[in-house]
Structure 1
């Protein structure tokens, strides 16, 4: 299992958001990994098994997802910046998404 995982839920349709491109970047901007949400809206393989402590960013490509569902969106992507503490272990980043709002938190 990778050190970082994510889960995207589509609050408009009340279901997982399948097919969203997800990119993990180091705080410096260096790309670490890319993946796509599965049929359950999850990404379980986003990067290596460990990461050094520091700042990171996950980018969710939301515009193409909403376009496939014939919806306009205010957010062409959602970028979540967060800090990793290596000793704290696995990080899970859920995203609750709609075309004009989103929320995120540190999951378990």
Structure 2
């Protein structure tokens, strides 16, 4: 099972490069990363379990008018499946979904 993410800055209309990411499994931090120039990061094979991906959007936008950390909790259950967690974000709102 592979896990990846893609962060898009909806204010600037471009990928969000340099967003700090924290991947937690069952409450424990298992990886810390930063999005690349295209706003992407691939964690690779993480196995099955309960996960939380925390996006440091307040640091990215340089302000904390409303959002600071955006946690996305999800479960990986399917063997040999690809999980992609996109985040569309501004300083005031976000949305996510299971991508392909």
TM-score, with structure 2 as normaliser: 0.91
2:59 pairs with one of 55, 61, 64 = 64
* 2:45 pairs with 1:49: yes
Aligned equivalent of 1:75: 67
Structure 1 or 2: larger strand share? 2
Which stretches in structure 2 are left out of the alignment for 5+ residues?
Answer: none
- 1:7 maps to which residue? 6
1:34-63 deviation digits (Å, cap 9, x = unpaired): 11001100012x2x52412x2110000011
Structure 1 residues without counterparts, runs of 5 or longer: none
Encode CA deviations 1:67-108: one digit per residue, 9 max, x unaligned: 0xxx54311010000011141511100000011100000001
Normalised to the residue count of structure 1, the TM-score between the two structures is 0.85
Q: CA separation of 1:50/1:100 partners in 2, compared to 1, >3 Å: closer, same or farther?
A: closer
Distance 1:50 1:62, change over 3 A: closer
SS of 2:59's partner is: helix
